[in-house]
């Protein structure tokens, strides 16, 4: 039997792509990619039936490297492409990896709507609190007061809590992990992929090159160790006060609810439609009375 890293390198990485990959030394994106590949492997998914989509950003380069059906879409729109793919071929396992900017800045609307709509999709968000690729400008998850290339005086806006936002918007499954917790992350990813409905796994990651450096958080090692120190499990967190939770990273499964999944509902509709069709079409025929419209 091949060993873990060998399986990944030999079966899941695209060797015709130039490795080493483009990410900076110590960047958490690689750690997430490893966990994701291990999760897919242990779920026994057929590579031909897996789709990995991304938007634009450092994280957006992930699909280039992995041997699935892969697509690097436009900035912020990955979930919309994934929606089309999933609805066209519901049998595929469609995962979408995004950065915090990609998913919640320009892509914020698609994100909350995907959650609301509850298709059977998995969204993996690598939250590094900055726009890594374009040079460290503030993102929707940059903490209040932080420095970035566009907030040299200290950031005046507040950060989204991505996982909470996803849950409120309607995601069926929401979990959080960090790049320090690589095994836990794999576990969360597996749960998310297996979940029927829209699942979100937020992974706290390090961009020491853009964010860490400017905020005196140290390099990759210090940042990743920081995640270890700041993390508390959801079980513990529920017993802590808001004050105690200040600055902490709550990890684990934050939401897991059962509700109708649109992907399946559409199938039901298709069946019904064939029957009802005749009647409704008639009734639907507009009587031509139009109102002022824009």
Ligand X SMILES: Cc1ncc(C[n+]2csc(CCOP(=O)(O)OP(=O)(O)O)c2C)c(N)n1
Beta bridge partners of 130: 138
Residue 57 interacts with ligand X (CB under 6 A)? Answer: yes
Residue 170 interacts with a copy of itself (CB under 8 A)? Answer: yes
For residue 182, count other CB atoms closer than 10 A to its CB.
18
Footprint of ligand X on 179-238 (CB under 6 A)? 207
Residue for token pair 């892509």: 107
Footprint of other proteins on 139-178 (CB under 8 A)? 140, 149-153
* Cα gap 3→112, rounded to integer Å: 39
Least separation in angstroms between CB 266 and other proteins: 6
Binding partner of 9, given other proteins, ligand X, a copy of itself, none, CB within 5-8 angstroms per partner class: other proteins
Residue 24 interacts with ligand SF4 (CB under 6 A)? Answer: yes
Binding partner of 118, given other proteins, ligand SF4, a copy of itself, none, CB within 5-8 angstroms per partner class: a copy of itself
Residue 257 interacts with other proteins (CB under 8 A)? Answer: no
Helix (DSSP H) and strand (DSSP E) numbers for the chain:
13, 10
* Cα gap 265→63, rounded to integer Å: 29
Q: What is the largest CA-CA distance in the chain?
A: 70
Residue 252 interacts with a copy of itself (CB under 8 A)? Answer: no
Least separation in angstroms between CB 160 and ligand X: 12
Least separation in angstroms between CB 212 and ligand SF4: 8
Residue 64 interacts with a copy of itself (CB under 8 A)? Answer: no
- Give the interface segment with a copy of itself, choosing from 1-9, 79-87, 241-249, 261-269 (CB under 8 A): 261-269
Least separation in angstroms between CB 183 and ligand SF4: 12
| Phi and psi based region of residue 249 (left: phi greater than 0; alpha: psi -120 to 50; beta: remaining) | beta
Q: 36 φ, ψ to 5°?
A: -65, -45
Beta bridge partners of 173: 199, 256
* Alpha-carbon distances of 26 from 1, 114, 222, 233, rounded to whole Å: 29, 31, 11, 25
Nearest to 119 by CA among 266, 255, 253: 266
Minimum CB distance to ligand X smaller for 129 or for 263: 129
Nearest to 170 by CA among 115, 104, 109: 115
* Cα gap 203→210, rounded to integer Å: 17
Binding partner of 226, given other proteins, a copy of itself, ligand X, none, CB within 5-8 angstroms per partner class: none
Q: Point out which residues bind a copy of itself (CB under 8 A).
A: 22, 24, 56-57, 60, 75, 105-109, 112-113, 116-118, 133-135, 140, 144, 152-154, 156-161, 164-165, 167-170, 259-260, 262, 265-266, 268-269, 272-273, 276, 280, 284, 290-294
Q: Point out which residues bind ligand X (CB under 6 A).
A: 56-59, 75, 99-102, 128, 130-134, 139, 207, 294
């Amino acid at each position: 039997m091949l060993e873990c890293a060998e399986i990944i390198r030999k079966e899941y990485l695209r060797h015709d792509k130039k490795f080493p990959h483009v990410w900076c030394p110590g960047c958490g994106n690689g750690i997430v990619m490893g966990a994701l590949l291990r999760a897919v492997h242990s779920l026994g998914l057929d590579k031909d039936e897996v789709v990995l989509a991304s938007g634009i950003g450092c994280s957006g380069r992930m699909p280039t490297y992995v041997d699935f059906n892969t697509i690097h879409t436009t900035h912020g729109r990955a979930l919309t492409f994934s929606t089309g793919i999933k609805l066209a071929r519901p049998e595929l396992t469609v995962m979408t990896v995004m950065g915090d900017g990609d998913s919640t800045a320009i892509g914020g609307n698609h994100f909350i709507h995907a959650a609301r709509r509850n298709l059977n999709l998995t969204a993996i968000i690598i939250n590094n609190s900055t726009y890594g690729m374009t040079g460290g400008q503030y993102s929707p998850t940059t903490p209040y007061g932080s420095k970035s290339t566009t907030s040299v005086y200290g950031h005046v806006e507040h950060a989204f809590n991505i996982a909470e936002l996803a849950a409120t918007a309607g995601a069926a499954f929401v979990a959080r992990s960090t790049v320090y917790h690589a095994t836990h992350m794999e576990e969360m990813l597996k749960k998310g992929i297996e979940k029927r409905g829209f699942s979100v796994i937020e992974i706290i990651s390090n961009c020491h090159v853009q964010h860490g450096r400017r905020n005196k958080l140290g390099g990759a090692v210090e940042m990743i160790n920081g995640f270890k120190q700041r993390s508390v499990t959801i079980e513990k967190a529920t017993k802590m006060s808001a004050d105690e939770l200040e600055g902490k990273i709550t990890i684990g499964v934050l939401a897991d609810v059962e509700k109708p999944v649109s992907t399946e509902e559409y199938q039901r509709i298709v069946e019904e439609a064939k029957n009802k069709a005749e009647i409704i079409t008639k009734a639907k025929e507009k009587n031509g009375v139009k109102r002022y419209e824009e």
